Amino acid sequence: MAYDRYVAICNPLRYTSLMTKNLCNILVAGSWLLCSLHSVMQVGMVSPLEFCGSNLIPALFCDLPPLLKLVCSDTTTYQWLVYTEGSLVTMSPFMFTVISYVSIVSKILKIRSAQGRMRAFSTCSSHLSVVTLFFGSIFFIYFRPFSVNALNQERVVTVVYTIVTPMLNPFIYTFRK
């Protein structure tokens, strides 16, 4: 979406030649492939760990931070792997989105008419609000120490990025002018 908005605003006359069906298919396939590899790697890292005690995960779904609380052995190395790999998987699309929007905003600010600027900003505002909700909640959950015991906060934020954000998507995109 960020690349689509970037091309639409920064290269509007070349949009149809740049955003081809083939490119869209490659972007979607690349996203699916990276997410699948990420999941396979996490399962491979968790499989050899020993679990003891209760098998009830104190969360809405089986996610890494609550799952690691059930491990009997030391998880320090695994936590570093989760932070490192999670940083790459999360920060790459986030930085791509930020760079795209920096270019978009600089291009929009060069538009002379106020109506043109408002139209361009309204095109991006819906996507930017969804991105902010999604990445904000992801950063809250995954980029803080595992020792923090804020189970209710984690549950609320997990609901935001797994249920609320996807549910709001259709509404947010219909409100733009």
Q: Return the structure tokens found at 88.
A: 């790459």
Q: What is the pLDDT of residue 127?
A: 78
| DSSP assignments along 57-118, one per residue | -SSSS--HHHHHTTBSS--HHHHHHHHHHHHHHHHHHHHHHHHHHHHHHHHHHT--SHHHHH
Question: pLDDT tens digit string along 141-175?
Answer: 777 665 555 666 777 777 777 888 788 877 776 76
The CB-based long-range contact list for 105-114 (8 Å cut-off, 24+ gap) reads 107/9, 107/10, 108/9
Q: In the block, which residue shows the tokens 């906060």? A: 153
* 71: helix, strand or coil: strand
